[in-house]
Protein backbone atom coordinates (compact mmCIF):
# COMPACT_ATOMS: atom_id res chain seq x y z
CA UNK A 1 0.00 0.00 0.00
CA UNK A 2 2.88 2.35 0.76
CA UNK A 3 4.19 1.80 -2.78
CA UNK A 4 0.82 2.87 -4.17
CA UNK A 5 0.88 6.02 -2.03
CA UNK A 6 4.33 6.92 -3.37
CA UNK A 7 3.10 6.34 -6.91
CA UNK A 8 0.02 8.52 -6.35
CA UNK A 9 2.15 11.37 -4.99
CA UNK A 10 4.07 11.70 -8.26
CA UNK A 11 0.91 11.77 -10.37
CA UNK A 12 0.02 15.11 -11.94
CA UNK A 13 -3.60 16.30 -11.67
CA UNK A 14 -6.09 15.27 -12.91
CA UNK A 15 -4.46 11.82 -12.95
CA UNK A 16 -5.90 9.42 -10.40
CA UNK A 17 -4.71 6.07 -9.07
CA UNK A 18 -7.38 3.40 -8.77
CA UNK A 19 -6.77 0.69 -6.15
CA UNK A 20 -8.95 -2.42 -6.29
CA UNK A 21 -9.35 -4.68 -3.23
CA UNK A 22 -10.60 -7.98 -4.62
CA UNK A 23 -12.46 -10.27 -2.17
CA UNK A 24 -11.50 -8.08 0.76
CA UNK A 25 -13.67 -10.07 3.18
CA UNK A 26 -11.50 -13.17 2.87
CA UNK A 27 -8.67 -11.81 5.03
CA UNK A 28 -8.40 -11.57 8.79
CA UNK A 29 -6.96 -8.06 8.34
CA UNK A 30 -10.28 -6.65 7.23
CA UNK A 31 -10.08 -4.01 9.97
CA UNK A 32 -7.14 -2.40 8.20
CA UNK A 33 -8.99 -2.48 4.89
CA UNK A 34 -11.98 -0.84 6.61
CA UNK A 35 -9.72 2.00 7.77
CA UNK A 36 -8.33 2.49 4.26
CA UNK A 37 -11.69 2.45 2.47
CA UNK A 38 -13.99 4.12 4.98
CA UNK A 39 -11.65 6.54 6.75
CA UNK A 40 -9.17 7.02 3.89
CA UNK A 41 -6.22 6.62 6.24
CA UNK A 42 -3.42 4.07 6.60
CA UNK A 43 -2.37 3.57 10.22
CA UNK A 44 -3.68 7.04 10.99
CA UNK A 45 -2.02 8.82 8.04
CA UNK A 46 -4.29 10.38 5.41
CA UNK A 47 -4.25 8.99 1.87
CA UNK A 48 -3.59 11.25 -1.15
CA UNK A 49 -6.76 12.77 -2.60
CA UNK A 50 -6.07 11.35 -6.06
CA UNK A 51 -6.39 7.75 -4.85
CA UNK A 52 -9.72 6.13 -5.74
CA UNK A 53 -10.63 3.01 -3.75
CA UNK A 54 -12.75 0.17 -5.09
CA UNK A 55 -13.46 -3.24 -3.60
CA UNK A 56 -15.32 -6.48 -4.19
CA UNK A 57 -16.49 -8.99 -1.60
CA UNK A 58 -18.04 -12.43 -1.61
CA UNK A 59 -21.49 -12.96 -0.08
CA UNK A 60 -21.69 -14.38 3.43
CA UNK A 61 -24.34 -17.05 3.07
CA UNK A 62 -24.75 -20.71 3.80
CA UNK A 63 -24.90 -23.44 1.21
CA UNK A 64 -28.51 -24.08 0.35
CA UNK A 65 -29.70 -27.67 0.74
CA UNK A 66 -32.40 -27.65 -1.89
CA UNK A 67 -33.55 -31.12 -0.93
CA UNK A 68 -32.31 -34.15 0.93
CA UNK A 69 -31.38 -35.97 -2.28
CA UNK A 70 -29.14 -33.12 -3.41
CA UNK A 71 -27.49 -33.01 -0.02
CA UNK A 72 -26.91 -36.77 -0.05
CA UNK A 73 -25.43 -36.55 -3.54
CA UNK A 74 -22.93 -33.95 -2.33
CA UNK A 75 -21.80 -36.29 0.41
CA UNK A 76 -21.01 -38.99 -2.14
CA UNK A 77 -18.11 -36.96 -3.51
CA UNK A 78 -14.96 -36.79 -1.42
CA UNK A 79 -14.65 -36.91 2.35
CA UNK A 80 -16.75 -34.90 4.79
CA UNK A 81 -14.92 -32.29 6.81
CA UNK A 82 -15.73 -29.13 8.73
CA UNK A 83 -13.68 -26.82 6.55
CA UNK A 84 -14.56 -23.83 8.67
CA UNK A 85 -13.40 -25.08 12.04
CA UNK A 86 -11.06 -22.11 12.25
CA UNK A 87 -14.11 -19.86 12.13
CA UNK A 88 -15.84 -21.81 14.90
CA UNK A 89 -18.77 -22.70 12.71
CA UNK A 90 -20.56 -25.43 14.62
CA UNK A 91 -23.74 -25.73 12.60
CA UNK A 92 -24.29 -28.51 10.10
CA UNK A 93 -24.52 -25.97 7.26
CA UNK A 94 -21.39 -24.54 5.69
CA UNK A 95 -20.61 -21.19 4.16
CA UNK A 96 -20.62 -21.12 0.38
CA UNK A 97 -17.56 -18.85 0.42
CA UNK A 98 -14.77 -18.70 2.99
CA UNK A 99 -15.33 -15.19 4.37
CA UNK A 100 -14.99 -13.19 7.58
CA UNK A 101 -17.62 -10.78 9.00
CA UNK A 102 -17.63 -7.33 7.40
CA UNK A 103 -17.47 -4.35 9.81
CA UNK A 104 -20.77 -2.50 10.02
CA UNK A 105 -19.10 0.72 8.87
CA UNK A 106 -18.22 -0.90 5.54
CA UNK A 107 -21.69 -2.33 4.97
CA UNK A 108 -22.98 1.19 4.21
CA UNK A 109 -20.58 1.32 1.25
CA UNK A 110 -21.57 -2.07 -0.21
CA UNK A 111 -23.79 -2.37 -3.26
CA UNK A 112 -25.36 -5.74 -4.01
CA UNK A 113 -24.48 -6.61 -7.59
CA UNK A 114 -26.98 -9.46 -7.60
CA UNK A 115 -27.30 -11.88 -10.53
CA UNK A 116 -27.87 -11.65 -14.23
CA UNK A 117 -31.45 -12.12 -15.33
CA UNK A 118 -32.06 -15.17 -17.56
CA UNK A 119 -32.57 -12.96 -20.62
CA UNK A 120 -29.40 -10.96 -19.94
CA UNK A 121 -27.39 -14.13 -19.37
CA UNK A 122 -28.67 -15.58 -22.64
CA UNK A 123 -27.51 -12.48 -24.52
CA UNK A 124 -24.06 -12.83 -22.97
CA UNK A 125 -23.98 -16.52 -23.91
CA UNK A 126 -25.02 -15.73 -27.49
CA UNK A 127 -22.16 -13.25 -27.77
CA UNK A 128 -19.55 -15.60 -26.26
CA UNK A 129 -20.61 -18.62 -28.33
CA UNK A 130 -20.77 -16.41 -31.40
CA UNK A 131 -16.99 -16.04 -31.06
CA UNK A 132 -16.41 -19.77 -31.56
CA UNK A 133 -14.20 -20.62 -34.50
CA UNK A 134 -14.94 -23.16 -37.21
CA UNK A 135 -18.12 -21.46 -38.43
CA UNK A 136 -20.45 -22.46 -35.61
CA UNK A 137 -22.69 -19.49 -36.36
CA UNK A 138 -23.06 -20.43 -40.04
CA UNK A 139 -25.73 -22.97 -39.15
CA UNK A 140 -28.11 -20.64 -37.30
CA UNK A 141 -30.40 -23.45 -36.21
CA UNK A 142 -27.60 -25.44 -34.57
CA UNK A 143 -26.11 -22.25 -33.11
CA UNK A 144 -29.42 -21.47 -31.37
CA UNK A 145 -29.60 -25.07 -30.15
CA UNK A 146 -26.13 -24.79 -28.60
CA UNK A 147 -27.06 -21.53 -26.86
CA UNK A 148 -30.22 -23.14 -25.48
CA UNK A 149 -28.28 -26.19 -24.29
CA UNK A 150 -25.84 -23.99 -22.38
CA UNK A 151 -28.62 -21.88 -20.84
CA UNK A 152 -30.48 -25.01 -19.73
CA UNK A 153 -27.26 -26.53 -18.38
CA UNK A 154 -26.49 -23.43 -16.33
CA UNK A 155 -30.00 -23.47 -14.90
CA UNK A 156 -29.85 -27.21 -14.14
CA UNK A 157 -26.61 -26.88 -12.13
CA UNK A 158 -28.03 -23.95 -10.19
CA UNK A 159 -31.13 -25.94 -9.28
CA UNK A 160 -29.23 -28.91 -7.84
CA UNK A 161 -26.31 -26.96 -6.33
CA UNK A 162 -26.40 -23.20 -5.75
CA UNK A 163 -27.06 -20.04 -7.73
CA UNK A 164 -23.34 -19.25 -7.61
CA UNK A 165 -22.19 -22.69 -8.75
CA UNK A 166 -21.87 -21.65 -12.39
CA UNK A 167 -21.07 -18.38 -14.10
CA UNK A 168 -20.04 -16.95 -17.45
CA UNK A 169 -16.59 -18.44 -16.83
CA UNK A 170 -18.15 -21.82 -17.65
CA UNK A 171 -19.41 -20.44 -20.96
CA UNK A 172 -15.95 -19.12 -21.84
CA UNK A 173 -14.50 -22.55 -21.02
CA UNK A 174 -17.13 -24.12 -23.28
CA UNK A 175 -16.08 -21.90 -26.18
CA UNK A 176 -12.44 -22.84 -25.68
CA UNK A 177 -13.23 -26.57 -25.47
CA UNK A 178 -15.49 -26.49 -28.52
CA UNK A 179 -12.73 -24.98 -30.65
CA UNK A 180 -10.24 -27.58 -29.41
CA UNK A 181 -12.55 -30.56 -29.91
CA UNK A 182 -13.38 -29.43 -33.44
CA UNK A 183 -9.71 -29.32 -34.42
CA UNK A 184 -8.85 -32.49 -32.49
CA UNK A 185 -11.58 -34.59 -34.08
CA UNK A 186 -10.47 -33.54 -37.55
CA UNK A 187 -6.86 -34.51 -36.78
CA UNK A 188 -7.86 -37.85 -35.30
CA UNK A 189 -9.31 -39.24 -38.51
CA UNK A 190 -10.26 -42.54 -36.84
CA UNK A 191 -12.46 -40.62 -34.42
CA UNK A 192 -14.83 -39.57 -37.19
CA UNK A 193 -14.64 -42.42 -39.70
CA UNK A 194 -17.26 -44.46 -37.85
CA UNK A 195 -19.29 -41.56 -36.45
CA UNK A 196 -22.58 -40.53 -38.12
CA UNK A 197 -22.37 -37.12 -36.42
CA UNK A 198 -20.81 -34.08 -38.03
CA UNK A 199 -17.64 -32.71 -36.47
CA UNK A 200 -19.56 -29.60 -35.46
CA UNK A 201 -22.24 -31.51 -33.54
CA UNK A 202 -19.74 -33.89 -31.98
CA UNK A 203 -17.49 -31.07 -30.74
CA UNK A 204 -20.43 -29.10 -29.35
CA UNK A 205 -21.82 -32.04 -27.35
CA UNK A 206 -18.44 -33.19 -26.02
CA UNK A 207 -17.62 -29.69 -24.79
CA UNK A 208 -21.03 -29.52 -23.10
CA UNK A 209 -20.55 -32.85 -21.31
CA UNK A 210 -17.07 -31.91 -20.15
CA UNK A 211 -18.24 -28.59 -18.70
CA UNK A 212 -21.45 -29.72 -16.99
CA UNK A 213 -21.92 -33.50 -16.96
CA UNK A 214 -18.61 -34.35 -15.28
CA UNK A 215 -19.30 -32.14 -12.28
CA UNK A 216 -22.46 -34.02 -11.29
CA UNK A 217 -22.36 -36.26 -8.23
CA UNK A 218 -24.77 -39.15 -8.65
CA UNK A 219 -25.98 -41.46 -11.40
CA UNK A 220 -29.49 -40.07 -10.95
CA UNK A 221 -28.48 -36.44 -11.48
CA UNK A 222 -26.34 -37.43 -14.46
CA UNK A 223 -29.25 -39.28 -16.04
CA UNK A 224 -31.56 -36.31 -15.45
CA UNK A 225 -29.04 -34.03 -17.13
CA UNK A 226 -28.71 -36.31 -20.17
CA UNK A 227 -32.48 -36.35 -20.54
CA UNK A 228 -32.49 -32.56 -20.36
CA UNK A 229 -29.91 -32.34 -23.14
CA UNK A 230 -31.81 -34.80 -25.34
CA UNK A 231 -35.05 -32.87 -24.89
CA UNK A 232 -33.40 -29.75 -26.37
CA UNK A 233 -31.76 -31.47 -29.35
CA UNK A 234 -33.25 -31.41 -32.87
CA UNK A 235 -35.61 -34.26 -33.74
CA UNK A 236 -33.02 -36.22 -35.73
CA UNK A 237 -30.77 -36.33 -32.62
CA UNK A 238 -33.41 -37.16 -30.01
CA UNK A 239 -32.35 -40.82 -29.85
CA UNK A 240 -28.64 -40.07 -29.65
CA UNK A 241 -26.80 -42.11 -27.01
CA UNK A 242 -24.77 -39.41 -25.29
CA UNK A 243 -23.09 -41.83 -22.90
CA UNK A 244 -21.81 -43.90 -25.84
CA UNK A 245 -20.60 -40.73 -27.55
CA UNK A 246 -18.56 -39.92 -24.45
CA UNK A 247 -17.33 -43.50 -23.98
CA UNK A 248 -16.15 -43.68 -27.59
CA UNK A 249 -14.18 -40.47 -27.20
CA UNK A 250 -12.62 -41.57 -23.90
CA UNK A 251 -11.67 -44.95 -25.35
CA UNK A 252 -10.08 -43.32 -28.39
CA UNK A 253 -7.67 -41.45 -26.11
CA UNK A 254 -7.08 -44.39 -23.75
CA UNK A 255 -6.19 -46.76 -26.60
CA UNK A 256 -3.43 -44.39 -27.69
CA UNK A 257 -1.77 -44.54 -24.26
CA UNK A 258 0.69 -46.89 -22.59
CA UNK A 259 -0.74 -47.84 -19.21
CA UNK A 260 1.16 -49.39 -16.27
CA UNK A 261 0.73 -53.14 -15.90
CA UNK A 262 -2.28 -54.05 -13.81
CA UNK A 263 -4.10 -50.76 -14.44
CA UNK A 264 -7.85 -51.26 -14.20
CA UNK A 265 -9.46 -49.29 -17.02
CA UNK A 266 -12.66 -48.65 -15.14
CA UNK A 267 -15.09 -45.83 -15.75
CA UNK A 268 -13.54 -43.47 -13.18
CA UNK A 269 -9.99 -43.81 -14.51
CA UNK A 270 -11.09 -43.27 -18.12
CA UNK A 271 -13.03 -40.16 -17.18
CA UNK A 272 -10.18 -38.76 -15.09
CA UNK A 273 -7.63 -39.28 -17.86
CA UNK A 274 -9.92 -37.79 -20.50
CA UNK A 275 -10.69 -34.65 -18.50
CA UNK A 276 -7.12 -34.09 -17.26
CA UNK A 277 -5.59 -34.45 -20.72
CA UNK A 278 -7.96 -32.02 -22.39
CA UNK A 279 -7.85 -29.41 -19.62
CA UNK A 280 -4.05 -29.36 -19.28
CA UNK A 281 -3.51 -29.11 -23.03
CA UNK A 282 -5.90 -26.14 -23.13
CA UNK A 283 -4.50 -24.53 -19.95
CA UNK A 284 -7.89 -24.87 -18.28
CA UNK A 285 -7.55 -25.39 -14.51
CA UNK A 286 -9.23 -28.59 -13.30
CA UNK A 287 -10.03 -29.72 -9.76
CA UNK A 288 -10.65 -33.42 -9.17
CA UNK A 289 -12.55 -34.30 -6.01
CA UNK A 290 -13.02 -37.81 -4.68
CA UNK A 291 -12.19 -40.16 -1.86
CA UNK A 292 -8.74 -41.81 -1.68
CA UNK A 293 -8.29 -44.62 -4.19
CA UNK A 294 -10.49 -43.28 -7.00
CA UNK A 295 -7.60 -43.01 -9.49
CA UNK A 296 -7.02 -39.26 -9.21
CA UNK A 297 -3.23 -39.37 -8.88
CA UNK A 298 -2.93 -42.41 -11.17
CA UNK A 299 -4.75 -40.57 -13.95
CA UNK A 300 -2.45 -37.55 -13.61
CA UNK A 301 0.66 -39.72 -13.81
CA UNK A 302 -0.65 -41.60 -16.86
CA UNK A 303 -1.38 -38.37 -18.73
CA UNK A 304 2.00 -36.83 -17.88
CA UNK A 305 3.87 -39.97 -18.94
CA UNK A 306 2.08 -40.21 -22.31
CA UNK A 307 1.82 -36.59 -23.45
CA UNK A 308 5.49 -35.81 -24.18
CA UNK A 309 5.21 -33.76 -27.36
CA UNK A 310 7.25 -35.16 -30.24
CA UNK A 311 8.60 -37.86 -27.92
CA UNK A 312 5.14 -39.37 -27.47
CA UNK A 313 4.50 -42.89 -28.77
CA UNK A 314 1.23 -42.04 -30.50
CA UNK A 315 1.29 -39.97 -33.68
CA UNK A 316 -1.59 -37.76 -32.61
CA UNK A 317 -0.04 -37.14 -29.18
CA UNK A 318 3.11 -36.00 -31.00
CA UNK A 319 1.13 -33.01 -32.28
CA UNK A 320 0.25 -31.94 -28.73
CA UNK A 321 2.33 -29.92 -26.31
CA UNK A 322 4.93 -31.52 -24.05
CA UNK A 323 3.58 -31.46 -20.47
CA UNK A 324 6.22 -30.51 -17.87
CA UNK A 325 5.01 -31.28 -14.34
CA UNK A 326 5.58 -29.00 -11.34
CA UNK A 327 4.39 -30.78 -8.19
CA UNK A 328 3.26 -29.30 -4.89
CA UNK A 329 1.95 -31.03 -1.77
CA UNK A 330 -0.74 -29.09 0.07
CA UNK A 331 -1.10 -29.09 3.84
CA UNK A 332 -2.85 -27.24 6.66
CA UNK A 333 0.31 -25.18 7.24
CA UNK A 334 1.16 -24.07 3.70
CA UNK A 335 1.43 -20.35 2.96
CA UNK A 336 0.82 -18.00 0.05
CA UNK A 337 4.57 -17.58 -0.40
CA UNK A 338 5.12 -21.32 -0.91
CA UNK A 339 2.38 -21.47 -3.55
CA UNK A 340 3.75 -18.38 -5.29
CA UNK A 341 7.12 -20.15 -5.55
CA UNK A 342 5.43 -23.04 -7.35
CA UNK A 343 3.95 -20.70 -9.95
CA UNK A 344 7.34 -19.01 -10.29
CA UNK A 345 8.92 -22.41 -11.00
CA UNK A 346 6.28 -23.05 -13.65
CA UNK A 347 6.93 -19.61 -15.14
CA UNK A 348 10.68 -20.29 -15.25
CA UNK A 349 10.08 -23.57 -17.11
CA UNK A 350 7.87 -21.76 -19.64
CA UNK A 351 10.61 -19.16 -20.21
CA UNK A 352 13.34 -21.78 -20.58
CA UNK A 353 11.25 -23.73 -23.10
CA UNK A 354 9.72 -20.68 -24.78
CA UNK A 355 10.93 -21.83 -28.19
CA UNK A 356 9.36 -25.27 -27.85
CA UNK A 357 5.82 -26.55 -27.79
CA UNK A 358 5.56 -27.23 -24.06
CA UNK A 359 3.27 -26.42 -21.14
CA UNK A 360 4.12 -26.31 -17.45
CA UNK A 361 1.53 -28.31 -15.49
CA UNK A 362 1.16 -27.55 -11.79
CA UNK A 363 -0.04 -30.65 -9.92
CA UNK A 364 -1.42 -29.42 -6.58
CA UNK A 365 -1.98 -32.52 -4.46
CA UNK A 366 -4.23 -32.26 -1.38
CA UNK A 367 -5.41 -28.78 -2.33
CA UNK A 368 -8.33 -29.30 0.04
CA UNK A 369 -5.97 -29.36 3.04
CA UNK A 370 -4.43 -26.06 1.91
CA UNK A 371 -7.85 -24.44 2.18
CA UNK A 372 -7.82 -25.27 5.90
CA UNK A 373 -4.62 -23.30 6.41
CA UNK A 374 -5.12 -20.23 8.64
CA UNK A 375 -2.90 -18.27 6.22
CA UNK A 376 -5.53 -18.47 3.46
CA UNK A 377 -2.87 -19.43 0.85
CA UNK A 378 -5.28 -20.31 -1.95
CA UNK A 379 -6.01 -16.62 -2.54
CA UNK A 380 -2.94 -16.74 -4.78
CA UNK A 381 -4.84 -18.96 -7.20
CA UNK A 382 -7.48 -16.35 -7.98
CA UNK A 383 -5.25 -14.19 -10.16
CA UNK A 384 -3.17 -17.04 -11.57
CA UNK A 385 -6.11 -19.17 -12.74
CA UNK A 386 -8.19 -16.54 -14.53
CA UNK A 387 -9.16 -17.81 -17.97
CA UNK A 388 -7.71 -14.86 -19.88
CA UNK A 389 -4.30 -14.92 -18.17
CA UNK A 390 -3.66 -18.56 -17.17
CA UNK A 391 -0.33 -19.63 -18.67
CA UNK A 392 -0.12 -23.08 -17.10
CA UNK A 393 -1.90 -26.35 -16.87
CA UNK A 394 -3.27 -26.77 -13.36
CA UNK A 395 -4.56 -29.96 -11.73
CA UNK A 396 -5.90 -29.73 -8.18
CA UNK A 397 -6.35 -33.08 -6.43
CA UNK A 398 -8.51 -33.08 -3.33
CA UNK A 399 -10.49 -35.33 -1.03
CA UNK A 400 -12.66 -32.39 0.02
CA UNK A 401 -14.78 -29.88 -1.86
CA UNK A 402 -13.40 -26.35 -2.06
CA UNK A 403 -15.29 -23.13 -1.62
CA UNK A 404 -17.11 -21.56 -4.56
CA UNK A 405 -14.52 -18.87 -5.38
CA UNK A 406 -11.93 -21.56 -6.21
CA UNK A 407 -14.39 -23.91 -7.90
CA UNK A 408 -15.64 -21.19 -10.27
CA UNK A 409 -12.14 -20.66 -11.62
CA UNK A 410 -11.72 -24.25 -12.69
CA UNK A 411 -13.48 -27.13 -14.36
CA UNK A 412 -14.76 -29.42 -11.60
CA UNK A 413 -14.62 -33.20 -11.93
CA UNK A 414 -16.54 -35.20 -9.32
CA UNK A 415 -15.43 -38.77 -8.57
CA UNK A 416 -18.34 -40.42 -6.72
CA UNK A 417 -17.97 -43.77 -4.99
CA UNK A 418 -17.94 -46.71 -7.44
CA UNK A 419 -20.98 -48.95 -7.49
CA UNK A 420 -20.89 -52.75 -7.15
CA UNK A 421 -20.52 -53.28 -10.90
CA UNK A 422 -17.49 -50.97 -11.03
CA UNK A 423 -15.94 -52.69 -8.02
CA UNK A 424 -16.48 -56.12 -9.56
CA UNK A 425 -15.07 -55.02 -12.93
CA UNK A 426 -12.02 -53.48 -11.27
CA UNK A 427 -11.46 -56.67 -9.28
CA UNK A 428 -11.62 -58.76 -12.46
CA UNK A 429 -9.13 -56.51 -14.25
CA UNK A 430 -6.69 -56.65 -11.31
CA UNK A 431 -7.06 -60.45 -11.23
CA UNK A 432 -6.51 -60.80 -14.97
CA UNK A 433 -3.41 -58.61 -14.85
CA UNK A 434 -1.81 -60.71 -12.10
CA UNK A 435 -2.73 -64.26 -13.14
CA UNK A 436 -3.94 -66.23 -16.14
CA UNK A 437 -5.68 -68.78 -13.93
CA UNK A 438 -9.30 -67.73 -13.46
CA UNK A 439 -10.73 -71.20 -12.83
CA UNK A 440 -10.99 -70.76 -9.09
CA UNK A 441 -11.16 -66.96 -8.83
CA UNK A 442 -14.24 -66.69 -11.02
CA UNK A 443 -16.16 -63.57 -11.95
CA UNK A 444 -18.84 -64.69 -9.50
CA UNK A 445 -16.32 -64.61 -6.65
CA UNK A 446 -15.19 -61.14 -7.73
CA UNK A 447 -18.81 -59.98 -7.70
CA UNK A 448 -19.35 -61.45 -4.24
CA UNK A 449 -16.22 -59.71 -2.95
CA UNK A 450 -17.49 -56.42 -4.39
CA UNK A 451 -20.87 -56.92 -2.71
CA UNK A 452 -19.19 -57.74 0.59
CA UNK A 453 -17.05 -54.61 0.44
CA UNK A 454 -20.04 -52.47 -0.49
CA UNK A 455 -22.12 -53.92 2.38
CA UNK A 456 -19.23 -53.20 4.76
CA UNK A 457 -19.16 -49.54 3.73
CA UNK A 458 -22.92 -49.23 4.21
CA UNK A 459 -22.73 -50.72 7.71
CA UNK A 460 -19.83 -48.42 8.71
CA UNK A 461 -21.78 -45.31 7.70
CA UNK A 462 -24.06 -45.92 10.68
CA UNK A 463 -21.34 -44.50 12.94
CA UNK A 464 -19.70 -41.28 11.78
CA UNK A 465 -16.20 -41.94 13.13
CA UNK A 466 -15.92 -45.20 11.16
CA UNK A 467 -17.47 -43.89 7.95
CA UNK A 468 -14.14 -43.65 6.08
CA UNK A 469 -12.24 -46.31 8.03
CA UNK A 470 -11.90 -48.50 4.92
CA UNK A 471 -11.27 -47.20 1.42
CA UNK A 472 -10.79 -48.37 -2.14
CA UNK A 473 -7.11 -49.06 -1.59
CA UNK A 474 -8.08 -51.65 1.03
CA UNK A 475 -10.34 -53.33 -1.51
CA UNK A 476 -7.62 -53.32 -4.17
CA UNK A 477 -5.12 -54.77 -1.68
CA UNK A 478 -7.62 -57.49 -0.76
CA UNK A 479 -7.92 -58.59 -4.40
CA UNK A 480 -4.16 -58.56 -4.94
CA UNK A 481 -3.59 -60.51 -1.71
CA UNK A 482 -6.10 -63.19 -2.65
CA UNK A 483 -4.63 -63.58 -6.14
CA UNK A 484 -1.15 -63.83 -4.66
CA UNK A 485 -2.24 -66.57 -2.23
CA UNK A 486 -3.76 -68.61 -5.05
CA UNK A 487 -0.65 -68.22 -7.19
CA UNK A 488 1.71 -69.35 -4.44
CA UNK A 489 0.00 -72.70 -3.85
CA UNK A 490 -2.46 -74.07 -6.35
CA UNK A 491 -3.25 -77.60 -5.08
CA UNK A 492 -6.88 -78.74 -5.16
CA UNK A 493 -7.20 -78.98 -1.39
CA UNK A 494 -5.59 -75.59 -0.93
CA UNK A 495 -7.89 -73.83 -3.38
CA UNK A 496 -10.96 -75.43 -1.83
CA UNK A 497 -9.96 -74.12 1.59
CA UNK A 498 -9.12 -70.73 0.16
CA UNK A 499 -12.50 -70.45 -1.55
CA UNK A 500 -14.16 -71.34 1.73
CA UNK A 501 -12.06 -68.68 3.52
CA UNK A 502 -13.04 -66.04 0.98
63 falls within a domain: yes
Taking residue 363's Cβ as centre, other Cβ atoms within 10 Å add up to 23
Q: Count structural domains, the chain.
A: 4
| Residue 368 sits in the same domain as residue 434 | no
| Residue 494 sits in the same domain as residue 443 | yes
Q: Are 34 and 40 in contact (CB under 8 A)?
A: no
461 falls within a domain: yes
77 falls within a domain: no
Expressed as residue numbers, the domain containing 331 is 268-417
| Residue 15 sits in the same domain as residue 34 | yes
89 falls within a domain: no
Q: Are 19 and 5 in contact (CB under 8 A)?
A: no
Q: Final residue of a domain: which of 107, 136, 157?
A: 107
| Residue 393 sits in the same domain as residue 442 | no
The crossing angle, in degrees rounded to 10, of helices 68-75 and 219-231 is 120
| Residue 124 sits in the same domain as residue 177 | yes
| Residue 219 sits in the same domain as residue 325 | no
311 falls within a domain: yes
Q: Final residue of a domain: which of 365, 400, 417?
A: 417
End-to-end CA distance of the chain: 67
| Residue 427 sits in the same domain as residue 336 | no
Say what the pLDDT of residue 223 is: 94
Q: Which positions of the chain have pLDDT values less than 50?
A: 68, 70-72, 75, 82-93
SS (H, E, C) 196-262: CCCHHHHHHHHHHHHHHHCCCCCHHHHHHHHHHHHHCCCHHHCCCCHHHHHHHHHHHHHCCCCCCCC
| Residue 409 sits in the same domain as residue 440 | no
Q: What is the DSSP letter of 402?
A: P
Q: Final residue of a domain: which of 255, 285, 315?
A: 255
Please name the residue ranges forming H helices in 391-471: 404-407, 420-434, 443-460
pLDDT tens track for 113-122: 878 899 999 9
- Secondary structure of residue 46 in the 3-state scheme: strand
285 falls within a domain: yes
pLDDT tens track for 41-62: 999 899 999 999 999 988 877 6
Candidates 98, 115, 114, 111; CA nearest to 30 is: 98
Say what the pLDDT of residue 495 is: 58
| Residue 390 sits in the same domain as residue 371 | yes
Q: Would the pTM of this model clear 0.95, i.e. be above it?
A: no
395 falls within a domain: yes
Say what the pLDDT of residue 499 is: 59
Q: Going edge to edge, which strands form the sheet with 411-415?
A: 322-329, 358-365, 393-398, 286-290, 411-415
| Residue 353 sits in the same domain as residue 380 | yes
| Residue 396 sits in the same domain as residue 460 | no
Say what the pLDDT of residue 162 is: 80
| Residue 127 sits in the same domain as residue 197 | yes
CATH of the domain at 358: 3.40.50.300
Say what the pLDDT of residue 502 is: 57
CATH of the domain at 215: 1.20.920
Amino acid sequence: MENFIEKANIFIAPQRLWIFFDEFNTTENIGLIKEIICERTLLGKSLPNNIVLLGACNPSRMQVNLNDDANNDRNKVGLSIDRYEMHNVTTNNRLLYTVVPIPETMIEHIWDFGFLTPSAERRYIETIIGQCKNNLTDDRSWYKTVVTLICESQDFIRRIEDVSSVSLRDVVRYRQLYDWFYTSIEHRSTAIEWSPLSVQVRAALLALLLCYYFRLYSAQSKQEYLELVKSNLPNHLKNLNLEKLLDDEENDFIQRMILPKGTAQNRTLRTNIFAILICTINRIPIIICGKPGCSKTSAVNIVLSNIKGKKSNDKYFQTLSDLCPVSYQGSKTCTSESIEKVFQRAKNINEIKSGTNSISVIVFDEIGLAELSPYNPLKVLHAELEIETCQYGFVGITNYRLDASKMNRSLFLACPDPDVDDLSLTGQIIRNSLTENTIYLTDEIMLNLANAYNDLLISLKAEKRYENYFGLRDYFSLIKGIVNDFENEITYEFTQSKQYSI
